[in-house]
Amino acid sequence: MNESVYQARQELFKTLDLPVSKADVKRLRWQQRVRLLLWEGALSSLLVIKRVIDIVGSLSAILIFMPLFLMTALCIVIEDGWPVFYMQSRVGMNGRVFNFYKFRSMRRDADRIREQLMNQNESSDGVIFKMKQDPRVTRVGRFIRRFSIDETPQFFNVLTGDLSLVGPRPPLPSEVAQYTLEDRKRLHVKPGLTCLWQIGGRSEIPFEQQVHLDLEYINSRSIWNDIRIMLKTVPAVLLGRGAY
């Protein structure tokens, strides 16, 4: 160690009432490395367990909901024809863009009409687009949106690893372009099917509060917290509060 650096550390350690010998400094450095390795190991274990839960959970859901998938597809075709699915680009962890799947709940020309409706956006923050009485939504679409049936194809996104069962909802590239540096912290983890604001009011929660809840989730991630959120998602979906 450079002598001047060592002396500077001595002064700092004296101020903090810490040991100042070279042996003590070396021991503290090793302790820091061990703590870092333990922290990285715990985080890696959490991610592995979370991925196993994602695979098992998404496979189970796909098998259980297969009759619902077929019935929903049939209703969409009868009312508004093909296609059954709507594919959209969304932004995932660390800014990676992926294809996001939903049952189509809007008219086939919905994306084109959206530009004409931007002045009717009911989202107070202006980053996301929401309308309670969106004229683009079909009759079947209103029903499957209310009970989040339109979101069920995203179990395939979970299976392929683009999504997790629990995590911040993936935004549109156009929304990310309006993010502040604080908002972009949402992209530090893999997005998910459900999250804190999904069980607390969904579309009724303004964007700024959504970001706050997502960051709260990121800072307190655990397997038990994920299980708690998934359990609370069931009544939230059945009640349909904030879904439109």
pTM of the predicted model as reported, rounded to 2 decimal places: 0.76
Of 157-166, 167-176, 200-209, the least confident: 200-209
Contacts of residue 121, defined as CB under 8 A and 6 or more positions apart, other chains included, come to 129, 130, 131
- For residue 192, report the phi and psi dihedrals to the nearest 5 degrees: -140, 175
Q: Where are the domains of the chain?
A: 47-239
Give per-residue pLDDT as tens, 95-136: 999 999 999 999 887 777 777 776 666 565 656 766 777 888
**Using one digit for the tens of pLDDT, what is the confidence trace for 180-217?**
988 999 999 999 999 988 887 666 788 888 889 999 99
Count of other CB atoms within 10 angstroms of residue 141: 24
**Whether pLDDT at 239 is above 80:** no
Distance of CA 240 to the CA centre of its chain: 19
* Whole-number Å distance between alpha carbons of 105 and 131: 14
